[in-house]
Amino acid sequence: MNKRAWLITVMLILFQIIAFADKAVLGLVAQQAIPELGISTVQFGFIGSAFFFLYAIASVLLGIWAGKVPIKWVLLSMGLSWAILQFPMLFGGGAAVLLVTRILLGGAEGPATAISLSSAHSWFRPADRSLPSNLIAIGSTLGPVVAAPLLAVIIVNFGWRWAFGVLGIIGLIWTITWFILGGDGPYGGKRGKPAPNASAVPESQAAANPEVHASETEAGSTEQDKLTGIDRQKRVPWRAILMSGSFVVAVFAGFTNFWTQGFLTTWSPKYLAGVVNLSPEMVAVFFTFPWLFGAAVLLGLGILGRYLMRRGVSVHKAIGVPFGVSLAVAGASFLLLPATTGAASVALLTIAAGCSVIYPMAPSAMAYAVGPQQRPVLMATLGGIASVGAIISPTAVGLFMENAGYRTPSPGQKDTAEMIANMTDGVHQSFGVAGALLLVAGILSVFFLNPDRTGRLLQNKYAMDAADESPVPASK
């Protein structure tokens, strides 16, 4: 837990903030961009979905790359790509340019969470990974929080195109800083190098903290040795990993998380402006509430997970169960939303969305099921498949609204009372779908998201030699 590890964690938190600000910008410019670009509600929803068209395949490919080269260079390439792809809209791009840049940007951002978590895990012992993992996840919820007020001011004073330009400039600044400060940690296990003994305590640290050293030495034969083994697991067949119950449940749970993200980043500002009847300035404020609440949930669950795992509690109970409970609360809240109005609807939306934007906990949990060399690919693949939820969600919400009778007003016009009522009906239908999905995913996660058991089963049955991937007897 040295200073360099926490410096890297801060940089990765900023990386996540930028990534999710890039996602949120589309929803923030919706009111101005839709009329100017001359597109319909469904077409705008399609552009929102397009962000995730290359998400899955790019996640897998970049995850494979990250398993073979230093993660520092993968993150550097991603950050530079994000920055460059923002500028075409600043310089006058139309709807087609917006569509293409969103597709490419989504491909470049696909594995952001997985690669960030892999980088952080390389700097911390297994028992200490829950908190930095959730802090990085908080970065994803803070992206829209930071972006909303900043970009609202930019949009009002300089026009909606400059929202993209500012994000490009910020991306370039992060990339330069990461080039100077970034790096991989000692627990990465690259190029066949075994991870250091996670239960070992440096002599200098033991002298300074004799009580901590004594407790960890006493625990060395139990939870600490067990966690050390996580970083020394042998390679196992991908088919076995992807067919495991824990992975399937994690993918479904991630699907529901991405479904909510798709709604929040594409339609939430329009919902707050039309259905809740907030001014543009207040939309920028209330838009941040679910993300702030999500950050608080992630922080609390991260502290809880670290506390429990340091006391030998399983990953299932320390991460999987709290993750599932949070999703179940989100699902129930979404199902109740159509029965509320005004301030009550804002409060319930805050709880529902905030408890569901905790996706990084799913790959963070699954990371304990495999060794460090397979970890980036596993987490990236999980995110790639789960991202289908965000592909479907924006277009689905647009279709719900259109089928309910909502039509985009002409440039310079506002929604009529009838159109707002139709919008409300359509969005409430989408809340019912989201609520049901999240409730089921939460229940399944509580009972079946068990990376500890999955890891043991994989090692006992499929342990492979890291060099040639041929089956070898599992160590006892």
pLDDT in tens, 430-443: 889 999 999 999 99
Which residues on neighbouring strands pair with residue 471, listed in sequence order?
464
Residue 217 scores a pLDDT above 50: no
**How much of the chain, in percent, has pLDDT values that exceed 70?**
86
Distance CA 42, CA 17 (A): 28
Average pLDDT over residues 262-271: 77
- Residue 220's contacts (CB-CB under 8 Å, 6 or more residues apart) are 199
CA distances from 5 to 125, 290, 319 (A): 11, 29, 22
Expressed in angstroms, the distance from the first to the final Cα of the chain is: 30
Highest mean pLDDT among 35-39, 66-70, 192-196, 428-432: 428-432
> Greater confidence, 106 or 203?
106
User: Predicted confidence band at 196 (pLDDT cuts at 50, 70, 90)?
Assistant: low
pLDDT band at 219 (very low <50, low <70, confident <90, very high): very low
Does 450 score more than 90 pLDDT? yes
Confidence of residue 46 (pLDDT cuts 50, 70, 90): confident
Name the burial class of residue 185, with classes exposed (0-12), middle (13-18) and buried (19+) by CB atoms within 10 angstroms of its CB: middle
What average pLDDT does range 305-313 have in this prediction? 86
Neighbours of 157 (CB within 10 A): 8
Can you tell me the mean pLDDT for 174-191? 81
Q: Are 56 and 387 in contact (CB under 8 A)?
A: yes
Query: Which pLDDT belongs to residue 371?
Result: 80
pLDDT of 205 > 50? The answer is no
Catalogue all structural domains in the chain, each as residue range(s) with its CATH number.
Answer: 7-185+228-462 (1.20.1250.20)
Q: What is the DSSP string of 273-298?
A: HHTS---HHHHHHHTTHHHHHHHHHH
Check residues 224 and 136 and name the one with the higher pLDDT: 136
What pLDDT was estimated at residue 48? 78
In tens, the pLDDT along 282-292 reads: 777 787 888 88
Query: Does residue 175 carry a pLDDT above 90?
Result: yes
Contacts of 59 (CB under 8 A, 6+ apart): 110, 111, 114, 380, 381, 383, 384, 387
Provide the sign of the torsion angle of the four alpha carbons 268, 270, 275, 277, taken in this order. Answer: positive
Q: What's the mean pLDDT in 404-422? A: 77
Average pLDDT value for residue range 240-264: 91
Please compute the mean of the pLDDT values over residues 393-404 and round it to a whole number: 85
Mean pLDDT of the region 112-117: 83
Q: What distance in Å separates the CA atoms of residue 457 and residue 399, rounded to the nearest whole number?
A: 44
CB atoms within 10 A of CB 57: 12
CA 418 vs CA 43, 144, 178, 413: distances in Å? 21, 30, 51, 14
- Neighbour-count burial of 213, counting CB atoms closer than 10 A to its CB (0-12 exposed, 13-18 middle, 19+ buried): middle
Beta bridge partner(s), residue 235 = 464
CA distance 397 to 266: 9
Sign of CA dihedral 257, 263, 268, 271: negative
Among 44-48, 311-315, 425-429, name the one with the lowest average pLDDT.
44-48
Mean pLDDT score across all residues of the chain: 80
Average pLDDT over residues 316-327: 94
Nearest Cα neighbor of 171 from 10, 329, 15 is: 15
Check residue 244 and give its pLDDT. Answer: 92
- Mean pLDDT for 67-84 is 88
Lowest mean pLDDT across 205-209, 242-246, 450-454: 205-209
Question: Residue 214 — pLDDT band, cuts 50, 70, 90?
Answer: very low
Whether the predicted pLDDT of 468 surpasses 60: no
